[in-house]
Structure 1
Amino acid sequence: MRVHPISALLVLAIAVSLPACKKDAESKDGKAAAEASASTLAVSTTPVVERDMASGITVSGPVAAVEEMQLGVELSGLRVTGLNVDVGQSVRQGQVLLTLDHRTLDSDLAQARAALREAQTGADLARANLARGQNLAADKYISAMQLDELRAARTQGEARVATARAAFDAASLRRSFADLRAPANGVISKRLVQSGQVVAAGMELMRLIRDGRLEWRADLPASQLAAVKPGDTIRLTSREGVNVDGVVRAVSPGVDATTRTGTVYANLPAPQGLQPGTFLQGHIATGTTRAKVVPASSIVMRDGFPTVFVIENGNKARAIRVEQGQKTGDLVEITRGLETGKAVVTEGAGFLADGDTVRVVAPTTSAAAKPQTAGSQP
C-alpha cells in the first residue's frame, strides 16, 4: 500500500515531539516539588529530658529594719532646746540625741539634794545623842524612858535620811529624762520633732535602726512556705542591677488565717546601700530537684500563654500549652504539659503556628554547641 508523503511527515513529527513533552512534564513536576520543599519551614528539635536543677522560689518583698526602735521621752510639757542628730546619722549607745528644757528639773534636784543633806545631819545628831545617853544611863544619870526616846530619835533620823535619799533619786531620774539618749548603737531612720517644740510623754520623736541591721521579708503561700528553712540563701536584685546576698533567719511557724500566707525573714549582712522600705525581687535557693527541662528557645508566647511545638506525623507542628517552673541558665523547667522524651521545636519555634507543615533538620552549629546543662541561678 502506498503511504501518502504528508501522512508520513506527520507521524515523524509526532514521534519526535513525544519525548520532548515527557521531559517538560518531568521538569515541571520536579520544580513544583522543589518549590513546595522550599516553602516548608525548616526547624530543629530536641527531646524533653530530666535533670537535677537548683530549685528555688522567686518572690518580691520589702527591705526592713531587723529592729527599728521608736524613741520618745517620759516627760510632758517641756520644750526641746537641743537636737544633736539628724536622719541617716550613726549614733553610739548612750549618746545624747535630744535635750529638753531642764531648768525646773535642776531646781527640783537641788532642793532634793539639800533635803538629803539636812536629813543626814539630823540623823548624825540623833546617833551622837544616843551614844551619850547610853553612857549616862550606864551610870544611872538618865532614866530608861529617856534612853528609849533617844533611840526613837535616832530611828526617826535614819528614816528621814532614807526618805530624803528616795526623793533625791527621783529628782535625779526626772532630770535624766530631759536627755534622750540612744539605747543602742544604730542609725537614725526618722526624726519627728523640731527644736523649740513642746513634747508630751510617750510621743514618738525619733526612730533608730538597731546596729543598722536590715532584713528582707516575703510573704509566701503555705505550699511554698514549707519548702523554705532557716539557713537557705537568697539573692536580691536591686533596680541598679546590684545583687545582694542574704540568709534566711526565720520562717513563720504557720500561715495567716486571712491571707493564707506566711512570712520569710532573711538577714542581709552586707546591705550595700539598700534602704528600708525598698521593694525588691528575691530568689530563695531551696536545694536541688529532679525536673523535666527544655531549652528556653523552645518556649514561645501564644495568646498570652507559654507554648511549645511538637512534631506529629513526621512533618506537622502541633502547639501545646505548658506551665513553666524554674529557669536555670538556658534551661526551663516544665511542670505540666509535656512528657519526658517528647521532641520539641527549638530553632524556628517563633515562626510556627498550629498545624504548619515543617521540615526537621539538624540544629545549626552555634545551637548545637550551646551548653545544655543545669547551672547555678544567674
Structure 2
Amino acid sequence: MADEGFSDLEVQDSVLAVDDIEKEEQGKRRRGWLTPLLLGLGLGIAIAIGTIRILDQRSTAQKAPAASKVAASIPPAMTVTTTPAQSTSISRSLNVSGTVAARDLTPVLPQASGLQVKQVLVKVGNSVKAGQVMAILDNSLLQDQIRQARADVESKQADVTSKQADLVSKQAGLTSSQAALAASQAVVQQRQADLAQAKARLVDAQRNFRRNQELLAQGAISRQVLDTNETTFTTAREAVRQEEANIRSAQANVESARANIGIAQASVQIAEAGINSAQANVKSNNAKVEQFKTQLGQTVVRAPVSGIVAEQLTRVGDVTGVPPQTQVATVVGGSQKLFSIIQDGQLELQALVPENQLGQIKVGATVQITSARDNSVRLQGTVRDIEAIVNQQRREATVKIDLPSTSLFKPGMFASAAITTTTQTGVAIPQKAVQSQSDGNTVVFMLSGEDVGTGASAKVDKIKTQKVEVGEILNGDRIEIKSGIRVGDRIVVDGAGYVKDGDTVRVNQ
C-alpha cells in the first residue's frame, strides 16, 4: 500500500539512485577503497526514500479533494486539428493487367519499288507531322530519265516548228493554185464573151453575104462586092472557131488549176498531219517528263499521318520492294513497310480479363492505370472496347482501354489497371488521420466530446482511440473507412501521430 503513494519525482529519484549504485559497483574493482563509502551512501538514500513515501501517503490522504481540483485544471498536452468524417462516392474496381499497344498503327510504304534508300531522317520515338519527310530514295536514274525526256520534248518541238513552216509554204502554194484557178476561170469567161461577139459578127457577115448574093443575082451589085462580103463571112466564121478553141484551152487551164489546188490541198493536209503527229510526240514526251517528276516525288517518303514513329524497318542502302529475309513479316499489300506510326500518339492498354469477370466491365468505364516499372505513374483511361471472342485455352478476353496522351508509356510495356465496376456511398477521411498500431490494428483518434473546458484560444477535449477497418485509397489523399466511425465524427488529422487515448488536447476547428 505504501508503494501506491510514490510520486513520479520520487520514483525517478529512486531509479537514479539505484543507477548510481550500480555504476559504483561496476567500478569497485578499480577503486576498491570507495566501496564502503558507496554502500553507506546507498543505504542512506533508501532510508530517505522510505521516509518520503510514508509522508507522501499521509499527505495524499489529507489532500485528496484538492488533488481532484488540480487534475481538472491540467493544461492540454498539445494542439490538434480535426475534420469531420464525410460521406463520399466510392468506386469498386477490378484489377487487371496487360500490355500497352498502339491504338492505330499506320504503316509507311514506299511509292516506288527497286530504289535504294539514300537517307533516313527519323528514328523510333520521334514525333512526325503529316507530310513530313521521313526518308529519301536514290533518284539519280529518274533525274537522267527526266533530262532525256526534256531533250526529246525540245527535239519534237523543233520538228513541230519545221512542219509548221512547211505547212505555211504548202498553204501559200494552195493559195497560188486557187488564184491560178480564178484567173483561168476569168480567161474562160473572157473567151466566152469573145466567142459571143465572134458569133454575132459571123451572123452579121452571113446575113450580108446572102443578101449580096441576091443582089448580085438581080444585078444590083458587082461580083467584087460579093467577094468582099464572102471574105468577111469566112473570116467571121474562122474567128468563131478560134474563139471556141480559145475557150477549150482556157477551160483546160481551169481544170489544170483545179488539179493543182487538189495537189496543194493534199500537201497542206499532209503538212497538218505531220504537225499533229509532231505535237502528239511533244505531248507524249511532256507526259513522260511529268511521269518522271511524279516518280521523282515518290522518292521522298513522307508521313501519311501525324504521330509517333513506333518502328523503323529500313536503313540506308536497303532497296525498296526487296525486304531483308528478317523482315518478311513487314510486307503489307505486296510492299515493304519502311516505318510504322502511332497515329496521333494514341495508345491503348490491352488487358486480359477472365471470362467470368467480363460481366462486371462496361464500355466507357473509368480506369486507373499504373506502371509496373514506376508505381508513382498513375493515369486515368477509359474502356473503349471489349473483344467479342474469348480465348478458348485461357478463357480470357481482351479489353481495350484508351490511354491519355503521355510519354510515360511505350508500346510493349506492361501495366496494371483498376477498372471501375460499381459506385456506392461510403465514409472517407484524410489518409494521414489513420494510424497503424504495433498489434496490427488500424485506429483513428477522435474527440470524445467530454466537457473539459476551453483553452486560451480553442476548445479543449479528450482523445478517444477508435479501431477502424479501412478500404480503398481515394482521390485527394483520402481513404475509405468501412467500419468504426460514422459520418460527422470529428477525427484528429494534424497531430494524430503524437496523441494517445485519454490525452487532453486543444482543438483548432
Q: TM-score, normalised by structure 1?
A: 0.55
The 3 A distance-change label for structure 1 pair 163 and 220 is: farther
Counterpart-to-counterpart distance in 1, 2:471 and 2:124:
51
| 2:145 aligned partner | 108
Q: 2:339 aligns with which of 206, 210, 213?
A: 206
Query: Partner of 2:374 in structure 1?
Result: 240
Which amino acid is the alignment partner of residue 149 of structure 1? I
Give the structure 1 partner of residue 131 of structure 2: 94
Cα shift readout 1:229-287 (whole Å, capped 9, x = no counterpart) = 443221111131111111233333x2157455543322222324211101111122244
User: Aligned ranges for residues 165-176 of structure 1 at < 5 Å?
Assistant: 165-176=286-297
Match of 1:215 among 330, 348, 353: 348
**How far is 1:111 from its partner?**
1.3
Q: 1:375–1:198: structure 2 CA closer, same or farther, 3 Å change rule?
A: closer
State how far apart, in whole Å, the 1-side matches of 2:127 and 2:280 are. Answer: 47
**Equivalent AA in structure 2 for residue 103 of structure 1:** S
Matched position secondary structure for 1:81: strand
Partner of 1:161: 282
Q: How far does the alpha carbon of each residue in 1:201-247 deviate from its partner, in whole angstroms, 9 at most, with x for none?
A: 43333332222222212243555445544432211111311111112
Q: Among the aligned pairs, what percent are the same residue?
A: 29
Aligned residue type for 2:367: I
Task: Give yes or no for contact 2:379–2:404 (8 Å, CA) kept in 1.
Answer: no
Residue 364 of structure 2: which of 216, 219, 231 is its match?
231
Paired residue type of 1:69: T
Name the structure with the higher helix share. Answer: 2
Structure 2 partner of 1:17: none
Counterpart of 1:65, as a letter, is: A
2:456 alignment partner in structure 1: none
Q: Partners in 1 of 2:364 and 2:280 — Cα distance?
A: 59
In the TM superposition, residue 138 of structure 1 has moved relative to its aligned partner by 7.2
| Stretch moving more, 104-113 or 78-87 | 78-87
Decide whether the 8 Å contact of 1:222 with 1:255 is kept in 2: no
> Who is 1:271 aligned against?
406
SS at match of 1:220: strand
Paired residue type of 1:179: V
Summarize the alignment of residues 62-211 of structure 1 with structure 2, pairs less than 5 Å apart: 62-123=99-160, 141=178, 142-143=261-262, 144-201=265-322, 202-211=335-344
Residue 121 of structure 1: how far off its partner (Å): 4.7
- Between the aligned partners of 2:128 and 2:137, the Cα distance in structure 1 is 19
Task: Please say if residues 126 and 153 of structure 1, whose CA atoms lie closer than 8 Å, have aligned partners that are also in contact.
Answer: yes
Count of matched residue pairs: 258
What is the identity, as a one-letter code, of the residue corresponding to 2:369? Answer: L
- Seen in structure 2, the aligned counterparts of structure 1 residues 373 and 99 have a Cα distance that, compared at 3 Å, is closer
CA distance in 2, matches of 1:229, 1:243: 21
**Letter paired with 1:234:** V
Residue pair 1:81, 1:101 contacting (<8 A) in 2 also: yes
For residues 132-178 of structure 1, the C-alpha deviation after alignment (integer angstroms, 9 at most, x for no partner) is 86787678644343444344334423432332233223322332333
Aligned equivalents of 1:222, 1:163: Cα separation in 2: 65
Preserved CA contact (<8 Å) 2:355 2:390: no
Instruction: Give the Cα separation in 2 of the matches to 1:374 and 1:195.
Output: 53
Contact kept? 2:308, 2:345, Cα under 8 Å:
yes
Give me the CA root mean square deviation: 4.0
SS of the residue 1:366 aligns to: strand
Letter in 1 for 2:274: A
1:106 deviation in Å?
1.2
| CA–CA separation in structure 2 for the residues paired with 1:74 and 1:373 | 55
* SS of aligned partner of 1:207: strand
Structure number having the greater strand percentage:
1
1:58: how far off? 2.3
Partner letter of residue 304 of structure 2?
A: P
Unaligned runs of 5+ in 2: 1-88, 179-260, 323-334, 427-433, 442-463, 480-509
Confirm or deny: 8 A CA contact 2:350 2:401 kept in the other structure.
yes
- Distance change >3 Å, CA 64–CA 120, structure 1 → 2: farther
1:255 aligns with 2:255: no
Using structure 2 for the length normalisation, give the TM-score: 0.42
Q: Residues of 2 paired with 1:134 and 1:220: CA distance?
A: 88
Q: What is the aligned partner in structure 1 of residue 98 from structure 2? A: 61
Report Cα offsets for 1:63-100 as digits up to 9, x if no partner. 11122233343445544332322332223333322223
Indicate the SS of the match to 2:384. strand
How many Å separate the matches in 2 of 1:187 and 1:78?
A: 25
